[in-house]
Amino acid sequence: MRYLVAFGLLAGCGVAPAPADPLPPPSVEDARVLLADVIDAGIDRDWERLCASASGTCEGELAAHAKERAPSQAPQVADIEVHHPIQDGDSWSSGGVLFVLCGLDGLGEPYESEVLVFNDGTKLLATAAVYWVGTSVGLAPPGGGPISESIPGEPRCP
């Protein structure tokens, strides 16, 4: 089952009044550190820690999707994309580092999800932190303009 979530809704304040210089996406290395903590929290079933790293939809996602679906093994990183903020009129969309993950959930069902790590101005946060439910963040596809680099991981999930 795959869910599409509008990035602006996931990021909470993903669209903000246009500053002179929007925040750049985090480094891939910094984003990987947060992603590793999100993955570990999911595997450990530490919901408080998981949601502390999330952008505001975590509790709702956990309530809507059985916690027993949390995986017991880390997912594979199938792709990494760096997205820069895009100005739309008087607003900017948040940029970030998008990770495409795939693995097996706690019930043995395969999933492919996207997790976006972005800077909210005070710290890094992850959208779709409940990564085992098959969420798509809904950013522009590669070649659509905002991506500065794509770093392939393992082959995409079967």
Q: What is the token pair recorded at 108? A: 């043995």
* Banded pLDDT at 13 (limits 50, 70, 90): very low
pLDDT of residue 142: 45
Residue where the block lists tokens 């750049």 = 24
Q: CA-CA distance, 85 to 32, in Å (whole number)?
A: 19
Q: Which structure tokens are listed for 16?
A: 């903000």
For 24-81, the pLDDT digits (tens) are 899 999 999 999 999 999 999 999 999 999 988 899 888 877 688 999 999 999 889 8
